[in-house]
Amino acid sequence: MRETPTWRIPFGIISLFVLLIVYGVVIARYAPGIIGTWSGAAQTVVYVVLGLIWLLPLKRFLIWMETGRWTPPE
């Protein structure tokens, strides 16, 4: 457990929030124009994938916020 506060946690939370807003705005702006004419089932699959894809780098990002390294401690 960490004894002293670190700048990485508030910076990480704020940057995660900002990046998710930017990602959401980009998806909301461009995805309907690209997949708007597809069937409802295909659109659902695309939006589910786009809704989950931001989770891929999250583990390493949270590790960095806690430890300062991008890989898990050994």
Q: What's the DSSP call for residue 36?
A: T
Confidence tier at 1 by pLDDT (50, 70, 90)? low
Q: How far apart are CA 20 and CA 43, in angstroms?
A: 21
pLDDT value of position 50: 92
- pLDDT at position 6 over 90: no
Q: 3-state DSSP call for residue 57?
A: coil
Residue-wise pLDDT for 41-60, tens only, equals: 999 999 999 999 989 889 88
Q: What's the DSSP call for residue 7?
A: T
Alpha helices in the chain (DSSP H): 8-35, 40-53, 58-67
Task: Find out whether 31 and 37 touch, Cβ atoms under 8 Å.
Answer: no
Confidence tier at 13 by pLDDT (50, 70, 90)? very high
